[in-house]
Structure 1
Amino acid sequence: MFPFAKTIASIGKAGLVSLMLACAGLALIIVIAAFMGINAFTAWLVNFDAAWLNWLIQGTVGIAAGVGGWFMLPALTVLIGGVFQETAIDKVERIYYPEKVRQEGPRLWPDLFHDIKFTAWAVFLNMLVLPFYLLGGIGLFVSIALNTYLLGREFFESAAGYHIGKPQALRMESTNKAAVYGGGFIITLIALVPLVNLFIPIIAVVWMIHVFHSLPQNGAGQSLPADQSSHTD
């Protein structure tokens, strides 16, 4: 139910290093672009006569954006992971579950609009949680609980839906909550570790595909049309 060893071993055995580096590069680009955008907007908005006051405000906003971005990164993992999701699943299954490899080849970012919609919703919910950080450690626990639910459900539905479609994936999730949300908890914790969190989108996909194949009656190996195997809103 908790495939720690398989997930770590898959990185080397399934040849996922290049995907993980690409994933980390994309994550850095998004984070740096967001940081620069916030700083540029602040510089344009704040224009006091006292240069030191401008510097102080911009510096404070920059630090706040950096800290906030660290806590927001879990919400971005689905968007980043979606680019490489099917390629990672295909590579892992060819090594560990060759009899379950889907006939259709992997697609690049098959659920683009769904991933954008989910990410916007996840970022919004995480922003609502930010005031809880003013109450001390409770903010961290609320954030972890929220992202455990969001990431556990989304990554499992993506892994299961790759084979059996979203409706059946939802039914599997409802009867395997410990595996789904236990995985979401692990994914969320890893997403809070600096540097390691750059690779979490691939790690999360690999973790959940192993979870999916460990469950009875997963239905893997059935070839579904692309519109059924992808997410539906």
Structure 2
Amino acid sequence: MIIEAARLAVANLLAPETRAVFWKVLGITLLVLVGLWLALHGAFNSFALPWLQAFFPDIPSWVGWLAYAFAVVAGFGLAISLSLLLSPVTALIAGLFLDDVAEVVEQRDYSGDAPGRAMPFGPAMVSSLKFLFVVVIGNIFALILLFVPVVNLAAFFMVNGYLLGREFFEFAAMRFRPPDEARLFRAKHGSTVFLGGLLISAFLAIPIVNLLTPFFAAAMMVHLHKLLSRKDPSFSENLRR
């Protein structure tokens, strides 16, 4: 079931509609990072350099050139630092477009089923921030165990497998179920969802490719929710009894 959901998700990543969403998210991400670089670099030139000149008005001219060179190096360093934020910022912005990915999956592979309900902008933003938060916390926890042999790799997959599986499955489930029911459905099929999360963690561990993680995870969990719903069709009825 999990392998089938992953296979279908990869096929959905290649769909023109999904590629369009990805390029849109990547474009917004790059604009945000460039804007942040310009703001921080401008702030450095506007405040740090004048402060240096004000406190040392009689410094030799070569020191001024040294300060200019330092500003250039700082600009490159800032650019490299911001490049490290490419993946998490992409994940944050992608969280606002996950419903678009889910709709592509539902229209292409489940056109005969009732469509899901997209989250309003406010809850979508909260969900996006929550997703970023759990990923950051999960990786900090894994980083703490970085120097513990064997445990470090296991920690990365276990923590991210649980968090990513939970968040993305509940996202997919809440398109068709009330939040409380979605959480209970995820809890009932927790082992399957966790294994799906481990597969997402493996995807996350691949450099460059991991920029597609939110799209792969959303598509995969939409498929997994559909497959589990067909396997357990009486869940909602039993819950209401």
TM-score of the aligned structures, taking structure 2 as reference length: 0.67
RMSD over aligned CA atoms reads 3.9
Written as runs of structure 1 = structure 2, the 5 A alignment for 1:1-233 is 1-2=2-3, 3-12=5-14, 15-33=17-35, 51=67, 63=80, 66-67=83-84, 69=85, 73=87, 77=91, 79-102=92-115, 106=118, 109=121, 111-119=123-131, 121-122=133-134, 125-126=137-138, 128-129=140-141, 132=144, 135=147, 139=152, 141-215=154-228, 216-217=231-232
Moved more, 38-47 or 14-23: 38-47
Report the Cα offset of residue 65 of structure 1: 5.4
Partners of 1:145 and 1:111 in 2: CA distance: 27
Structure 1 stretches lacking a partner, 5+ long? 221-233
Consecutive unaligned residues in structure 2, runs of 5 or more? 53-62, 236-241
Pair 187,66 (structure 1): closer, same or farther in 2 beyond 3 Å: same
Q: Decide whether aligned partners of structure 1 residues 35 and 181 sit closer, same or farther in structure 2, where only a CA change above 3 A counts.
A: farther
Larger radius of gyration: 2
Q: CA deviation at 1:207?
A: 0.6
Query: How many percent of aligned residue pairs carry the same amino acid?
Result: 20
Deviation by residue 1:14-38 (Cα, 9 ceiling, x = unmatched): 7422122223323434455556666
Query: Once the 2 structures are TM-superposed, how far is the Cα of residue 7 of structure 1 from its aligned partner?
Result: 1.3
Name the CA shift for 1:127/1:36 in 2 (closer, same or farther; >3 Å). Answer: farther
Scaled by the length of structure 1, what TM-score is found? Answer: 0.69
Mark the CA change 1:41 to 1:191 in structure 2 (over 3 Å): closer, same or farther: farther
Count of residue pairs the alignment pairs up: 217
How many angstroms does 1:148 deviate by? 2.1
Q: Partners of 2:138 and 2:10 in 1: how far apart? A: 28
CA 1:139–1:107: 2 relative to 1, 3 Å: same
Aligned-partner Cα distance in 2 for 1:59–1:131: 26
Which deviates further from its counterpart, 1-10 or 122-131?
122-131
Distance change (3 Å), C-alpha of 1:103 and 1:11: closer
How big is the shift at 1:139? 4.9
